[in-house]
């Protein structure tokens, strides 16, 4: 049994202990009816509710002397105790049995996902989330796009927009991003909008690889054969010219206030969702593999990075996909 399974089993044991303690308290409540005990049970609200159900019709009075229980009353009283204890044991045995009969690899996978859930639950929304590995980075950003797509399917009138600033284009020329690219296409096909800007010099723009990349990007907005929708916009800006623009400089200053932005603004690829921000500058030497990334969920910090301000004809040019 690995560490993740051990955490899950310990959690089940803790639940079992709580259930047993609950059963013990109920048993004591059935055996005693003094005022002091009733006061203690009222402090435990849930147990007090259970006590009222079990002892319905009885009016406990501390001043009244206790009466001896008749044989039928004592018989049913003991049966109630037996039922409560049996229910408690079932609540412990059934989950443990269900867990132990599952395949080991399935348990390991479930324990791993449960561990991730606990880690995410421990995060404060105002605390940045660091994704250390490239594969996990790519999986997470793909999952976010898929989640937004599912949200629009449930509510078609709730459109979502994604703003992207790519300082590097090289990592798009790899099959590792095919799944993410397909997620983009499905997102747009379901009513979402993606605004993506590449920073490309005039020399890079003439590169056949870049031309192939731009054509592939244009397919994101294709609704069918020869039909292009308005859900995808592709922009291009010259890195030298945009550096001197006031909007870019202001965005750069705001960006440097975010965590782990010790590098200059033009070293990062940035994705702005409605209520989240993703950025990364950790790529392989040939810029073909994504690395670690940072996720920001604090609304105040997210609102400071307004990529929309760069998508103007006075700053960049829109690449036609018709």
Asked if residue 180 and residue 268 are part of one domain, the reply reads yes
Asked if residue 311 and residue 270 are part of one domain, the reply reads yes
Burial of 265: CB neighbours in 10 Å, binned 0-12, 13-18, 19+: buried
Per-residue pLDDT of 129-176, as tens digits, reads: 888 887 888 888 999 999 999 999 888 777 789 999 998 888 888 778
139 assigned to some structural domain: yes
Q: What is Dmax (Cα atoms) for the chain?
A: 100
Kindly write down the DSSP assignment for every residue of 112-136, as one continuous string: HHHHHHHHHHHS-TTS-EEE-SHHH
Q: What is the mean pLDDT of residues 21-40?
A: 52
Asked if residue 96 and residue 245 are part of one domain, the reply reads no
Per-residue pLDDT of 88-129, as tens digits, reads: 777 777 777 777 777 777 777 777 777 767 766 666 667 788
What is the C-alpha separation between 28 and 140, in angstroms, rounded?
Answer: 51
Q: Look at residue 1 and tell me whether its pLDDT is greater than 60.
A: no
272 assigned to some structural domain: yes
43 assigned to some structural domain: yes
104 assigned to some structural domain: yes
Tokens of 22: 């609950």
Asked if residue 113 and residue 209 are part of one domain, the reply reads no
Q: Among candidates 305, 278, 297, 276, which has minimal Cα distance to 126?
A: 297
What is the C-alpha separation between 273 and 277, in angstroms, rounded?
Answer: 6
> What is the tally of structural domains in the chain?
2
> How large is the C-alpha radius of gyration of the chain?
30
124 assigned to some structural domain: no
Q: Among candidates 243, 239, 156, which has minimal Cα distance to 197?
A: 239
Q: Which domain holds residue 261?
A: 129-318
Inter-residue contact 180 to 142 (CB < 8 Å): yes
Q: What is the pTM of this model?
A: 0.64
Burial profile 242-260: b = 16 or more Cβ within 10 angstroms, e = fewer: beebebbeebeebbeebee
């Amino acid at each position: 049994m690995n560490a993740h399974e051990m955490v899950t089993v310990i959690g089940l044991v803790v639940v079992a202990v709580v259930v047993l303690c609950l059963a013990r308290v109920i048993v004591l409540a059935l055996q005693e009816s003094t005022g002091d005990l009733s006061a203690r049970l009222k402090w435990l609200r849930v147990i007090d509710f259970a006590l009222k159900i079990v002892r319905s019709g009885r009016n406990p009075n501390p001043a009244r002397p206790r009466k001896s229980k008749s044989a039928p009353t004592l018989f049913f009283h003991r049966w109630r105790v037996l039922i409560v204890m049996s229910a408690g044991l079932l609540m412990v045995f059934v989950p443990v049995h269900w867990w132990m009969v599952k395949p080991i690899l399935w348990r390991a996978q479930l324990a791993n996902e449960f561990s991730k859930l606990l880690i995410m639950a421990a995060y404060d929304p105002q605390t940045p989330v660091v994704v250390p590995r490239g594969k996990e980075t790519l999986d997470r950003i793909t999952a976010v796009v898929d989640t937004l797509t599912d949200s629009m399917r449930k509510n078609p009138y709730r459109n979502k927009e994604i703003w992207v600033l790519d300082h590097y284009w090289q990592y798009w020329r790899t099959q590792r991003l095919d799944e993410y690219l397909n997620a983009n296409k499905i997102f747009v096909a379901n009513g979402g909008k993606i605004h993506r800007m590449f920073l490309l010099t005039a020399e890079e723009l003439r590169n056949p690889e870049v031309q192939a990349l731009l054509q592939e990007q244009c397919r994101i907005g294709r609704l069918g054969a020869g039909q292009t929708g308005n859900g995808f916009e592709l922009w291009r800006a010259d890195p030298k010219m945009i550096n001197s623009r006031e909007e870019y400089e202001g965005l750069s200053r705001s960006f440097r206030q975010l965590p782990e932005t010790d590098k200059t603004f033009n070293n990062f690829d940035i994705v702005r969702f409605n209520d989240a921000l993703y950025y990364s500058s950790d790529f392989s030497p040939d810029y073909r593999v994504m690395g670690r990334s940072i996720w920001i969920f604090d609304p105040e910090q997210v609102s400071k990075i307004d990529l929309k301000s760069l998508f103007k004809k006075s700053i960049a040019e829109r690449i036609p996909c018709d």
